[in-house]
A and B are shown apart, each in its own frame.
Chain A
Amino acid sequence: MYALVDGNNFYVSCERVFRPDLNGLPVVVLSNNDGCAVARSNEAKALGIAMGAPWFQIKHLAESDGLVALSANFALYGDMSDRMMSLAAGLGPAQEIYSIDECFIDLTGIRGDLVARSHKIRARILQWTGIPCGVGIGATKTLAKLANHIAKTADRKPGSYPAKLAQVCNLATLEATERDAVLAATAVNEVWGVGRRISQQLQAEGIHTVLDLMKLDAATVRSKWSIVLERTVRELQGTPCVDLDSTPAPKKEIACTRSFGNPITELHHLTEAVTEFATRAAEKLRKQHSQTAQVLTYIRTSPFRKDDKQYSRSVVTPLRRPTSDTTAIIKGALQGLKYLYQPGYNYAKAGVMLLDLQSDSQHQTELDLEEGDSEEDRTRLMTAMDSLNQRFGKGTLKTASAGLAGERRAWSMKQLRRTPAYTTNWDDIPIARA
């Protein structure tokens, strides 16, 4: 069994923890350079603002409907994510952090009422961090993700699903007829991995709901569509096809995290691990033709080794400009690691997450005042590196992570509406009136 824990409107929820005056107002968080809405409060959704809506198209709503727009504050989101994830980890023995606001939990071996347990963890995350979550539980990751969608929708739109499924939904405990009714009430494009193109094709064939898709014959799906969709159908039918770690690339962030076989104490070992994670994340990034502008690094001890001193921290390092260059990404990740590392702990897990992604086709040109390779040369180098690694195996060509030279470069981005780094910068902490 798997659970998916997902923070509701995560960026907006993070902002509201420190800006309670924003509760009840329509709020959006804008992407890199204040371009478009990447998170929306329920009130903003109710105004009809779509995900990814360009700011200039919704700007007028500030005047007419009191819409509040904020620049993305990744230092804040990274820290709040870290708090939420380490609490969510208590749900089961293994955790895969899938993106900044969602993680899968392996529930193997957990006894007792999973729904009650999930409600408890959800309540703790809400109280300790102020972030509301939805929890979906199912026999496969695809079902857990679907259950999460149902849990959130039932909470946000009363009447859309049975009220008892709000906030926490376990598809595995529903009666067959009740489960079928729920799946029949859910559109096929809500299924994990079913994109717009596939869902159009499916609807043309009369497959409109999740129930329709689930009832298809897996072998037929394979011959008619693809092996990927076949896997999705099998997962919907309850056969796990996707393990906890090997997942398709997420939409908003790319994460590469791993638990160590043995606890690590030395900085140079962590440096190797983080270099490896950053390298793999950069590969995934190029595969989906994206660039990243911010790199989150985290290290943590094991909450299950109760006798160990506990440590869990993350830091977001902004990059000088959006890039998909392994070297630049490693450099950012290692800067973060150097800042985080404290001797004397048994580290059990580390990870790198690439945030603030954008397509590599949109370029921001700038006057290059640096010595070194031109951007085209770097791109060709990275392409060559990827194809060699693909051909001769992962890690054939690596970046030497010895000399981390250079001062941190000035970073400037158009972020006119950014809130302070309330939890990561001593000079930015909130004010309490007395």
Chain B
Amino acid sequence: MVPTGVVAGFPSPAEDLGASRIDLNKQLVIHPQATYVQRVSGNSMEADGIFHDDILVIDKAIRPRHNMVVVAVVDGAFTVKRLYDQRGRVKLRAANPTYPDIVPKEGQTLEIWGVVTNCIKQFPRA
């Protein structure tokens, strides 16, 4: 045992646990080289808890699957939507049902840029 400098009193019950402070990077980032952030603009995903000005954490290493929230490339721009991929039909759906689905045209493939793993909301600090 190595003395810890405390000469009297009850030993700290946390001493043996080897606990280290929660690291947000470890919680939010699975694949560091594949992780990117983008800022949300618009309201179509509010029902999924994604609001205007929120920050998306995006992992390009994760294979996109049905019902995942993804960033896709639509008309050359990044778009966040929910991926619908069932029975060979692929489209993007907004969480807000008043927005139409985005369906790739004949012969077009839907380009999924990455999978959204987290959404960060920053509150005003001043």
A residues touching B (Cβ–Cβ < 8 Å)? Answer: 19-21, 23, 83-84, 86-87, 124, 127-130, 310, 312, 422-423, 429-434
Tell me whether B52 and A129 are in contact (CB under 8 A): no
Chain B residues lying within 8 Å of A432, measured Cβ to Cβ, are: 38-41, 56, 71, 78-80
- Nearest CB to that of A21 among chain B residues? B76
Tell me whether A434 and B79 are in contact (CB under 8 A): yes
- Segment 64-101 of B: residues with Cβ below 8 Å from A: 71, 73-81, 94
With A87-B33, A129-B33 in contact, do A434 and B42 touch (Cβ < 8 Å)? Answer: yes
Tell me whether A434 and B31 are in contact (CB under 8 A): no
User: Could you tell me the distance between the alpha carbons of A128 and B62 in the complex, rounded to whole angstroms?
Assistant: 9
Chain A residues lying within 8 Å of B75, measured Cβ to Cβ, are: 21
Q: List 18 A-B contacts (CB under 8 A).
A: A20-B73, A20-B113, A21-B75, A23-B76, A83-B34, A87-B33, A127-B34, A127-B61, A128-B33, A128-B61, A312-B32, A429-B38, A430-B36, A430-B78, A431-B38, A432-B78, A433-B42, A433-B78
Tell me whether A431 and B113 are in contact (CB under 8 A): no
Tell me whether B36 and A423 are in contact (CB under 8 A): yes
Chain A residues lying within 8 Å of B55, measured Cβ to Cβ, are: 429
Tell me whether A129 and B38 are in contact (CB under 8 A): no
Chain B residues lying within 8 Å of A430, measured Cβ to Cβ, are: 36, 38-39, 78
**Whole-angstrom distance between the Cβ of A350 and the nearest chain B Cβ:** 18
Q: Interface size class for chain B?
A: 20 to 34
Tell me whether B78 and A431 are in contact (CB under 8 A): yes
Tell me whether B60 and A434 are in contact (CB under 8 A): no
Chain B residues lying within 8 Å of A127, measured Cβ to Cβ, are: 34, 60-61
**Whole-angstrom distance between the Cβ of B50 and the nearest chain A Cβ:** 6
**Whole-angstrom distance between the Cβ of A15 and the nearest chain B Cβ:** 13
Chain A residues lying within 8 Å of B41, measured Cβ to Cβ, are: 431-434
Tell me whether B80 and A20 are in contact (CB under 8 A): no
Tell me whether B113 and A434 are in contact (CB under 8 A): no
User: Could you tell me the distance between the alpha carbons of A84 and B45 in the complex, rounded to whole angstroms?
Assistant: 32
Is B37 an interface position by the 8 A CB rule?
yes
Tell me whether B60 and A130 are in contact (CB under 8 A): yes
User: Could you tell me the distance between the alpha carbons of A26 and B43 in the complex, rounded to whole angstroms?
Assistant: 34
Chain A residues lying within 8 Å of B60, measured Cβ to Cβ, are: 127-130
- Nearest CB to that of B77 among chain A residues? A433
User: Could you tell me the distance between the alpha carbons of A429 and B57 in the complex, rounded to whole angstroms?
Assistant: 11
**Whole-angstrom distance between the Cβ of B45 and the nearest chain A Cβ:** 4
Chain B residues lying within 8 Å of A87, measured Cβ to Cβ, are: 33
Tell me whether B32 and A310 are in contact (CB under 8 A): yes
**Whole-angstrom distance between the Cβ of A430 and the nearest chain B Cβ:** 5
Tell me whether B33 and A83 are in contact (CB under 8 A): yes
**Whole-angstrom distance between the Cβ of B38 and the nearest chain A Cβ:** 4
**Whole-angstrom distance between the Cβ of A85 and the nearest chain B Cβ:** 9
Chain B residues lying within 8 Å of A433, measured Cβ to Cβ, are: 41-42, 74, 77-80
Given contacts A430-B36, A430-B78, A434-B94, 17 further A-B contacts (CB under 8 A): A20-B77, A21-B76, A23-B76, A83-B33, A83-B34, A124-B61, A129-B34, A312-B33, A423-B36, A429-B39, A429-B55, A432-B39, A432-B56, A432-B78, A433-B77, A433-B79, A434-B79
User: Could you tell me the distance between the alpha carbons of A19 and B76 in the complex, rounded to whole angstroms?
Assistant: 7
Contact with A along B2-26 (1 / 0, CB 8 A): 0000000000000000000000000
User: Could you tell me the distance between the alpha carbons of A127 and B64 in the complex, rounded to whole angstroms?
Assistant: 12
